[in-house]
Chains A and B, each alone.
Chain A
Amino acid sequence: MSRPLQLAMPARRKTRSRTAAPSADVSFSPAEVAAASRARKAAKVRTPPEVIDAFAPSLLSVRDVVFQPLTLGSLMVLERIGSPLADENFGPDTEVTTQDLMAVVLVLTRPPADSLAILGRGQDEWDRACLALASRFEPADIAALGLKLRETFTRAFATVIASEKKRMTDSPSIPPATGSAGG
């Protein structure tokens, strides 16, 4: 059996207090090194999958409702209606109602100008449009809707290069809808 490669991180320079920082040992098996090497070589000659998804996306759908990718315009409409999914503090504890989900579906299934036109006709018209959309789904579809919306938002931010701390929506988890409003 071959011995795993040992990659030792160099210890930091001595500090003024003369306390040496502990060194972190990271070991990789030959198979892991080979896999990483193959991936590095492939990355040099292939378009990154995130970029392919951005420019040639496979569209997500639930039943016959197809979601368009999230655009800056659609994100602004979501902010305009105060959608919790467009809130920067969105997290696992955020309450999302069925009406909130339907509003996002409404925005993602038409150009932003159309959504703004519905909004311009008043809140009642907006609610009616959400209700009409909700009638196209069965209650059992709500979980699938949540998953597809999460995927839509994840894909929208997949090409951001940021540190883990700064990452906006690495893997947003949409909590189950409460069903307290809408369809």
Chain B
Amino acid sequence: MSEYGWEVEYTLGRPLAQAFALYEAIKARYGAKPAGPTYADRAVLAALASAKSHP
């Protein structure tokens, strides 16, 4: 966390969803392959599911 200038207290107070989103962004920035469906993939899957249930 020191790499980004975050104090421990500040880090502990961040909502987990923010921390995970930033973590995924950092991983993507460094070229790591996503471990599962990305946010865009999920949007497509949700649209497909919605189109299937409401043809």
A residues sitting closer than 8 Å to B (CB atoms) are 28-29, 31-32, 34-36, 38-40, 42-44, 48-51, 53-55, 57, 69-73, 75-76, 111-112, 155-164, 166-167
Contact = CB atoms under 8 A, between A and B. Distances in A.
Nearest to B19: A72
Contacts of A162: 35-36
Nearest to A55: B18
B40 A48 contact: yes
A76 B21 contact: no
Interface of B: 11-21, 24, 34-40, 42-44, 46-48, 50-52, 55
Contacts of B15: 54, 57, 69-71, 156
B13 A73 contact: yes
Contacts of A157: 16-17, 20
Nearest to B21: A159
21 contacts: A29-B55, A31-B51, A32-B52, A34-B51, A39-B43, A39-B44, A39-B46, A48-B40, A48-B42, A49-B43, A51-B21, A54-B15, A54-B21, A55-B18, A69-B15, A70-B16, A76-B12, A111-B13, A112-B13, A157-B20, A162-B35
The 8 closest A-B CB pairs, nearest first, are: A39-B47, A54-B17, A48-B39, A73-B12, A69-B15, A43-B40, A35-B51, A159-B21
Residues of A contacting B: mostly = helix
Most B Cβ at <10 Å: residue of A36, A73, A159, A161: A161
B50 A71 contact: no
Contacts of B19: 72
A1 to B, nearest CB: 12
Contacts of B36: 161-164, 166-167
A29 B37 CA distance: 22
Contacts of B40: 40, 43-44, 48
B54 to A, nearest CB: 9
